[in-house]
Amino acid sequence: MKKLIFTGAGVAIVTPFHPDGSVYYEKLAQLIEEQISCSTDAVIVCGTTGESPTLNTEEHTEVIRFAVAQVKGRIPVIAGTGSNDTAYAAMLSMEAEAAGADALLMVTPYYNKTSQEGLVRHFTHVADRVRTPIILYNVPSRTGVNILPETYARLARHPNIAATKEANGDISALAKTIQLCGEDLTVYTGNDDQITAFLALGGKGVISVLSNVAPEAAHAIAAAGLAGDFAESARLQLEWLDLCNDLFCDVNPIPVKAAMNLMGMEVGPCRLPLCEMSEGKLARLKGTLERHGLLCG
């Protein structure tokens, strides 16, 4: 069995920006400290929620370095290093490894996409060039390509490919992936509304958007399931289901950043092409936050 990178709830943390769009590092440090104090089990930087597509190479590598320095080994730091350009993904992965990241999160190639054979070659090319464990990231709603269970089985044979963040919503495919890969591939869900279901099938946790606004809740859902108390995990999952859903009522991370700003966290705007939510969606999100007691005053 490959070494577990983490179990429980890891936060797919936002990248806070100043009003002028520059990275707000002081705020990022504050967010990381708050997550650690709330028992978050890992921090994932430069992912989708961290707006990696609009971070230039210098910003991308600096955010990773900054997070590693801020965390100081207290929990794992997982760095998003995926790209639709295999050579660029390898370069980012080597930079993240040099910065001290504990694991690399690699999304499937997007836009140009590829075949299942192309996926194997893409991820293998990068995995051959680093020693840091890789978490694959399957999110076909964003990328237009889906990793099949049989492809996971091939990729799991590589000693550096340790896990996947599965966000295709297909529970039947998840079951087959776990059946085929066994202990060679750790599975995390990328969907906050499916934490309990993944854990029941043998998953080890969640890479969570919800954790940005309710880290203790995400941690509790995962902890209960990992302890075998699926009744309690399910109870909490359903209690927070409305917020899990509303955090995706617009393109991620638009809603979660709006929620954090409503909560007084001052994480700033999203970078274009992402823009503000409609007034109707914002009102809906605000109402859900109020129901959960997450708004002050």
Neighbours of 36 (CB within 10 A): 18
Q: Which amino acid is at 50?
A: G
Strand residues in 93-244 grouped as ranges (E): 103-107, 134-138, 161-166, 186-189, 205-208
Start-end of H helices in 86-170: 86-99, 116-127, 140-143, 149-155
Residue whose structure tokens are 């290093």: 81
Residue whose structure tokens are 């790209």: 83
Size of the chain, expressed as the number of residues it contains: 297
Task: Provide DSSP, 13-27.
Answer: ----B-TTS-B-HHH
Residue whose structure tokens are 């087959």: 176
Pairing of strands 134-138, 186-189: unpaired
Catalytic residues, by residue number, are 137, 165
Contact 138, 109 (CB under 8 A): no
For 109: left if phi > 0, alpha if psi spans -120 to 50, otherwise beta; the answer is beta
Distance CA 94, CA 159 (A): 17
